Amino acid sequence: MKIAVVGVTGMVGAIMLELLEKRAFPISELIPVASEKNFGKTVNFKGKDHKIVTIKDALSRAPKIAFFSAGGDVSLFWAPRFEEVGCTVIDNSSAWRMDPLKKLIVPEINANVLSKNDKIIANPNCSTIQLVLALFPLHKAYKMKRVIVSTYQSVSGTGIKAVQQMENEANGVKGEMAYPHQIFKNALPHCDVFMKNGYTKEEMKLANEPMKILNDDSFKVTATAVRIPTAGGHSEAVNVEFENDFSLNEVRKLLSEFPGVVVQDNPEVNDYPMPILASGKDDVFVGRIRRDESAEKTLNLWIVSDNLRKGAATNAVQIAEHLINNVI
């Protein structure tokens, strides 16, 4: 099967290659794609060097599946052109997520809605994926009314430029800035751009995407997204109010039995999810599970996941695996 990876030299693209090899994805021809400045360079896949080509070259080869991780503008322009040659595009940008004609997929939750007619499939926002994966089994059991989420997001979510800024600042080196302020020894309540309503674009993704993924607008989400100086994963403090009451033992059981979720909740021995432990793993880790003693039928959770893996590359590869096993 011909597979294209668009944005192969980026942080997500590199992990995508790693996962495709590790998970033995059926590839007869790999088409690595990057910007023209990388044209002619190579990437290694399964011990063999593959020349990077332009996106136009990749289109002419008509891949069966193309993973896009090159930004919204690239996706908006090129994804429909790949669709025209029969390619299925799995897009990691925000370009298609809220398009009413496109599916927004977390495979453990809603892969069943995909069909052969879905040629452009949206990968959700990284912080949304870990949130909904943990909340979905609880929503089925107790029905959510309102979710309040505060995120503590890795600089890797911004990209290599942001990681370099943090490393430069830690080493006292002046360099290019990805953020309007220093990130080292700091916390920026500013993920993505500010919108007219005072929220950031990231916060509105968290507010809107869960309802589309769960196909349910009976609950509401409000978010505050904060960038912190870590690179291993995103963390979320989540407060969720339910229609129905719950027991903590049942909550832990529901979470631990749900695919892709790992309960790590032993605070008496200082065992709880942290980005440094989640880094490089494909699961979503949940801990600090406790009742909100200030409100009825309300739960507090701490959710951590590697934003480049389950928050991006892993989820995209899982979508493709579902397609080849059940749809294509």
In whole angstroms, what is the distance from residue 109 CA to residue 87 CA?
Answer: 24
Phi, psi of 229 (to 5 degrees): -80, 65
User: Which pLDDT value is given to residue 39?
Assistant: 85
Pairing between β-strand 234-242 and β-strand 298-305 as defined by DSSP bridges: antiparallel
Reported as a single tens digit per residue, the pLDDT across 77-103 is 999 999 999 999 999 999 999 999 999
In whole angstroms, what is the distance from residue 180 CA to residue 188 CA?
Answer: 9
Contact in structure between 221 and 206 (CB atoms under 8 Å): yes
Task: Give the residue-averaged pLDDT of 186-193.
Answer: 98
Reported as a single tens digit per residue, the pLDDT across 133-188 is 999 999 999 999 999 999 999 999 999 999 999 999 999 999 999 999 999 999 99
C-alpha pair distances (Å), 328 with each of 1, 113, 114, 319, 323? 11, 13, 10, 12, 6
CA 248 to chain CA mean position, Å = 27
Which residues are CB-neighbours of 77 under 8 A, at least 6 positions away? none
Phi, psi of 183 (to 5 degrees): -105, -35
Q: Has residue 41 got a pLDDT over 90?
A: yes
Reported as a single tens digit per residue, the pLDDT across 7-33 is 999 999 999 999 999 999 999 999 999
User: Which pLDDT value is given to residue 328?
Assistant: 84
Pairing between β-strand 284-291 and β-strand 298-305 as defined by DSSP bridges: antiparallel
> Percentage of residues in the chain with pLDDT exceeding 90?
97
User: Which pLDDT value is given to residue 103?
Assistant: 98
Find the angle CA(14)-CA(207)-CA(190) to the nearest 5 degrees: 65
Reported as a single tens digit per residue, the pLDDT across 105-119 is 999 999 999 999 999
Residue 40: band (very low, low, confident or very high) from pLDDT cuts 50, 70, 90:
confident
Indicate the DSSP class of residue 64: S
Residue 37: band (very low, low, confident or very high) from pLDDT cuts 50, 70, 90:
confident
Long-range contacts of 93-98 (CB under 8 A, 24+ apart): 93/68, 93/69, 94/125, 94/201, 94/205, 95/122, 96/120, 96/122, 97/122, 97/124, 97/125, 97/205, 97/209, 97/212, 98/208, 98/209, 98/212
Reported as a single tens digit per residue, the pLDDT across 274-322 is 999 999 999 999 999 999 999 999 999 999 999 999 999 999 999 999 9
- Residues with active-site annotation: 126, 234
Q: First CA to last CA across the chain, in angstroms?
A: 11
In whole angstroms, what is the distance from residue 254 CA to residue 292 CA?
Answer: 19
Reported as a single tens digit per residue, the pLDDT across 197-254 is 999 999 999 999 999 999 999 999 999 999 999 998 999 999 999 999 999 999 999 9
CB atoms within 10 A of CB 84: 11
User: Which pLDDT value is given to residue 226?
Assistant: 98
Domains (ranges, CATH) in the chain?
A: 2-123+312-327 (3.40.50.720), 127-307 (3.30.360.10)
Indicate the average pLDDT of the chain.
Answer: 97
The partner residues of 48 in beta bridges, in order of sequence, read 45
